[in-house]
Amino acid sequence: MGAFIHVRVPKAADLDAMKSFMGEHFTPGPTLFPWLEAFVAEDPRVGYVDQIEVRVGTDICAYSLPNDIGFYCGAGWLREEREYASGLIRWMALKVGPGRKVRSYMYEDLVRKVFVASGHPTKPDGWDRNHDLVDEVGFTPSTRVSPEELATWTDEDHYLTKEVRRMHRSDPLIRGELARLDALWRVRGPGGS
């Protein structure tokens, strides 16, 4: 089952600016994660991040409002793709979402809050309280397994080992892409952030 994730943007000018900005600067997933091509070749029902389309208003889903911006995440998306789309939404929430220090976004119809931690959060917290602890660009690690713990695992030790190793490889790419967008957003002119 897929999910709709989106940000409610209080100001129409901010919504227009973000839609235009994403149209110009969004990077499709295959550019970020070249190893996903092997999974797509193996099973054409998975791997859709190149189809992320920034949508506005009721184009996101039937219950979204005209001032929402977001994506539809397909059921066949791989974990890297879901983490990338979620990171993009968290970044947009920090830039144009409601509130000053805490920004909100919707995951399906559940409101989540984005809280910015200083530096890079190493242990994301708060999923059970409907908020994410993120760094200044909206990034949070995709897994709570430390690199040291992961290094001791063998493929027989854990059924998610290969996926977790892929996520450890993709996390820096996701954070780098969010940082790139953040830098471009800040230099785009008055009202850039």
Decide if 144 contacts 119 (C-beta within 8 A). no
**Any bridge partners for residue 3, and if so which?**
73
pLDDT at 127: 47
Q: Which residue has the higher pLDDT, 9 or 162?
A: 9
What pLDDT score was predicted for residue 169?
Answer: 82
Q: Where are the alpha helices (DSSP H) in the chain?
A: 12-25, 29-32, 36-42, 79-96, 147-151, 161-186
- Cα(91)–Cα(187) distance, rounded to whole angstroms? 16
Distances in Å between the Cα of 80 and the Cα atoms of 64, 68, 191 are 25, 24, 31
pTM for the model: 0.80
Query: Which segment of 9-18, 81-90, 131-140, 177-186 scores lowest on mean pLDDT?
Result: 131-140
Q: List pLDDT tens digits, range 5-59.
A: 888 888 889 988 998 898 888 876 667 777 777 776 776 666 555 556 666 766 6
| pLDDT greater than 70 at residue 173 | yes
* pLDDT at site 86: 86
Report pLDDT for 78: 77
